[in-house]
Amino acid sequence: MSARVPVDAETFRRDGYLVMPGAFSHDEVSAYREHLLAKFEGGDDSADYSGDLFANPVTESFIGDGRLIEVCRDLLGGEPVYFGDSSAMYYASNNNVCGFHKDNADRHNPDAPDWDGDYPIIRFGLYLQDHSRQGGGLMLCAGSHKSVARNRKLEVLNEEVFGWFSGRTRYVPSDVGDLIVWNLRTTHAGMGRYLRGPIRRPISERTQHLVPGFMQSKLAESRLAMFASFGLAGKHLDRYLRYLKTRTYMVDIWRQTQYTPGMFAKFEAQNAKLLDMHGEVSADIAAGRPVGGYTYWAPLPA
């Protein structure tokens, strides 16, 4: 097991995200990047770069070596649960900014079950290149995990105007090896840019066309990042898994990924839990229960 990563749980609870500098070494990041870059840019149609990172021998350590498990335990308490929701994502250097969104099931309805109490599901991001001196990094809205506006137009104003002027809407200048974690209710955009200059205010998908190109931060190299979700057992995780079962990409990953007894034992040895979503989804399909029907997010019935 690798060394424990220091965490600031109070900052995480306040802002809905946390940056942990130097959690991974430059050598580890270089090895991940070299492997994944060959997959994305090498014309290889195999699924091991878009599937569960825990099932790939080269990226397995990102999930299973204990760092993410212990951060999850420190931030949320209880027994960390991993359910196969991980991926690597690639963007070319000329890619535009991604849109702001939340990752939980109930994204726009404050009366929905996701907004009842704390939300103990988190996502980790490890960006495999420097973003402290170039664009392409994460953007998010600090504190947005605590509530969602009932009116969608007001939510956009919070992201684009109020958050921009107050500094709550931020570009994260992560360095190589920095680990980022955010609550799934936190509004964020995975591929961002910022205004050149000392303030580095973020440029969103909605405003990018309004900003002259020379004022926008550029990305000098292809952007690669790895992501993984963990949570605590309970009503919120049950609902999130119910939501993931509606998503085509996630059901495809679960169907392709069958864990070995040694993989389950690795989590048990760290007082954590690995869910057998391959078996669960296979049983759903055999019983004729609908899974994987939506390519994009769609709200769940309350």
CATH code for the domain in which residue 118 is found: 2.60.120.620
Mean pLDDT of 29-45: 86
Q: Which domain, by its residues, includes 80?
A: 9-286
Based on the structure, what is the number of domains in the chain? 1
Residue 292 covered by a domain: no
pLDDT tens string 96-128:
999 999 999 999 999 999 999 999 999 999 999
In a domain? residue 301: no
- Cα distances (angstroms) measured from residue 228 to each of 86, 218, 293: 4, 26, 22
The span from the CA of 95 to the CA of 153, in Å, is 26
> Is 146 part of any domain?
yes
Tell me, yes or no, whether 1 lies in a domain: no
Is residue 181 in some structural domain? Answer: yes
Q: Which residue has the higher pLDDT, 35 or 302?
A: 35
Query: pTM of the full predicted structure?
Result: 0.95
pLDDT for 198 equals: 82
- Residues 292-296: contacts with CB under 8 Å, at least 24 apart: 292/245, 292/246, 292/247, 292/248, 292/250, 292/251, 292/252, 293/246, 293/248, 294/246, 294/247, 294/248, 295/247, 295/248, 295/249
Burial category of 151 from C-beta neighbours within 10 Å (exposed 0-12, middle 13-18, buried 19 and up): exposed
Q: Helix, strand or coil for residue 153?
A: helix
In a domain, 298, yes or no: no
Is residue 172 included in any domain, yes or no?
yes
Residues 129-150 pLDDT 10s: 999 999 999 999 999 999 999 9
Helix, strand, coil percentages, rounded to 5, for the chain: 35, 20, 50
Report whether pLDDT(50) > 80.
no
Residue 137 and residue 176 in contact, taking contact as beta carbons nearer than 8 Å: no
- Residue 173 falls inside a structural domain: yes
